[in-house]
């Protein structure tokens, strides 16, 4: 399930190519020091198994970089400037909630790991809610056909697991079947929406675009 808001994508940490982006706040006088500390942070995050990227590009402002990485959906942003280093801190920002807070550099590995787990869990709950509120289970084939044809989006159906039924459904409605990614249990006594035999799987159906 894709996530996003008006700032762009929000990637679940498990699939994000970059899980934490480090953005140094660079000034001429303190540039060397800040970049050195930022590299150390990147190394220590990677050591903890976090896919971290240091955006050391000179030609772009921090604000420009914030927007760019937000658009790409990177789950965590770490800001570090000369004042932060003096305080032994960085700013840790969450892409999903927009929350920003100061974190001690010594505790960053831990804080980032926990934040990534929390983002993953909260996106999962949102997906599940989306499925529950936007997808109706349909037992009647004629109604199912109508929902798909009207462009009503998704419909949840029970299916016997036979590829012949799957092909027929696709032929007659244009909808393809997708397994619901939440270990959805088949309700007892469910019947295949197409052939009426005992259902083996609960799937959702939608037209492929």
For residue 41, state whether it binds Zn ion (rule: CB under 5 A): no
CB of 165: closest distance to Zn ion in angstroms? 3
CB distance 84 to 90 below 8 Å: yes
For residue 112, state whether it binds Zn ion (rule: CB under 5 A): no
Task: Show contacts with Zn ion in window 133-162 (CB under 5 A).
Answer: 160, 162
For residue 195, state whether it binds Zn ion (rule: CB under 5 A): yes
Q: Would you say 154 or 159 has its CB closer to Zn ion?
A: 159
- Residue 104 β-bridge partners: 89
Q: Would you say 54 or 203 has its CB closer to Zn ion?
A: 203
- Residue 53 β-bridge partners: 21
Q: Is the Cα torsion angle 178, 179, 180, 181 positive or negative in sign? A: negative
**Out of 192, 203, 205, 206, the residue judged to bind Zn ion by CB under 5 A:** 192
Beta strands in the chain (DSSP E): 4-5, 8-9, 20-24, 52-54, 76-80, 89-94, 100-104, 136-137, 155-159, 175-179, 201-207
Q: Residue 43, Cβ neighbours under 10 Å: how many?
A: 12
CB of 203: closest distance to Zn ion in angstroms? 11
- Contact characters 52-91, Zn ion, x per CB under 5 A: ----------------------------------------
Measured CA to CA, the distance from residue 196 to residue 168 in angstroms comes to 13
Measured CA to CA, the distance from residue 186 to residue 174 in angstroms comes to 24
Q: What is the 3-state secondary structure (H, E, C) of 54-88?
A: ECCCCCCCHHHHHHHHHHHCCCEEEEECHHHHHHC
Q: Would you say 6 or 171 has its CB closer to Zn ion?
A: 171
Q: Would you say 68 or 198 has its CB closer to Zn ion?
A: 198
**Out of 23, 25, 76, 165, the residue judged to bind Zn ion by CB under 5 A:** 165
**Out of 194, 203, 204, 205, the residue judged to bind Zn ion by CB under 5 A:** 194
Q: Give the end-to-end CA distance of the chain in Å, rounded to a whole number.
A: 16
Q: Would you say 162 or 201 has its CB closer to Zn ion?
A: 162
CB of 169: closest distance to Zn ion in angstroms? 9
**Listed ranges 10-18, 27-35, 55-63, 184-192: which one lies at the site for Zn ion (CB under 5 A):** 184-192
Residues at the site binding Zn ion, with contacts judged by CB under 5 A? 160, 162, 165, 192, 194-195
């Amino acid at each position: 399930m894709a996530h996003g808001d008006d700032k762009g994508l929000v990637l679940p940490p498990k699939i994000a190519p970059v899980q934490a982006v480090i953005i140094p706040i660079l000034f001429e006088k303190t540039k060397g020091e800040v970049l050195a500390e930022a590299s150390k942070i990147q190394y220590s995050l990677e050591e903890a198994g976090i896919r971290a990227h240091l955006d050391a590009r000179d030609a772009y402002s921090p604000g420009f970089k914030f927007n760019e990485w937000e658009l790409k959906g990177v789950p965590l942003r770490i800001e570090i400037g000369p004042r932060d280093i003096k305080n032994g801190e960085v700013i840790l920002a969450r892409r999903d909630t927009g929350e920003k807070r100061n974190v001690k550099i010594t505790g960053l590995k831990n804080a980032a790991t926990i934040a990534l787990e929390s983002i993953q869990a909260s996106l999962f709950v949102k997906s599940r809610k989306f499925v529950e509120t936007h997808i109706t289970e349909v037992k009647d084939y004629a109604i199912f056909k109508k929902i798909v044809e009207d462009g009503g989006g998704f419909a949840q159906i029970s299916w016997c697991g036979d590829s012949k039924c799957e092909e027929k459904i696709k032929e007659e409605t244009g909808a393809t079947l997708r397994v619901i990614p939440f270990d959805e249990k088949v309700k007892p006594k469910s019947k295949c929406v197409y052939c009426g035999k005992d259902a083996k799987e609960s799937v959702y159906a939608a037209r492929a675009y």
